[in-house]
């Protein structure tokens, strides 16, 4: 337990926080069939306040499926803030009725919500994931 506390203290001193996650939550599997399946989220991305000042959009996702490995890779997406972005007000998140028509909506909401997180954190995560899904859908 001492090593866990040391790691936590290190993260606290560096003011590192976990970046919002979107997509399939688990990054590792024992690759066994149900009911012997074990999945865990081992890979995470961390950032500090300085990163949030530089990057306009920061999101971690794990949509790729593992093939030979027992690990899913994670992808960190980021966009640089421009001077214009700093002047603009943050766009307000609003739930779009069209998302209810998307077959993946329920799955996205379930995966974005984390038990133990505040309702506000879960709403933010769901909003980011749904907007990302809309962005990807509009490209196809």
What predicted TM-score, i.e. pTM, was given to this entire model?
A: 0.50
Residue 140 to residue 100: CA distance in whole angstroms? 19
Helix, strand and coil content of the chain, in percent to the nearest 5, comes to: 40, 20, 40
pLDDT in tens, 84-138: 554 454 556 667 777 777 777 888 787 777 766 677 777 778 888 887 777 777 7
pLDDT given for residue 78 in this prediction: 78
């Amino acid at each position: 337990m001492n090593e866990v506390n040391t790691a936590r203290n290190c993260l606290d001193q560096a003011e590192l926080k976990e970046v919002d996650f979107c997509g399939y939550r688990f990054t590792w599997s024992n690759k066994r069939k149900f009911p012997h399946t074990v999945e865990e989220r081992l890979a995470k991305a961390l950032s500090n306040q300085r990163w949030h000042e530089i990057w306009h959009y920061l999101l971690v996702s794990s949509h790729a499926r593992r093939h030979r490995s027992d690990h899913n890779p994670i992808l960190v997406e980021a966009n640089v803030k421009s001077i214009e972005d700093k002047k603009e007000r943050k766009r307000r998140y609003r739930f779009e009725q069209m998302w209810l028509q998307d077959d993946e909506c329920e799955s996205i909401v379930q995966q974005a919500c984390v038990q133990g997180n505040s309702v506000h954190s879960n709403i933010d995560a769901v909003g980011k994931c749904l907007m990302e899904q809309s962005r990807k859908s509009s490209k196809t």
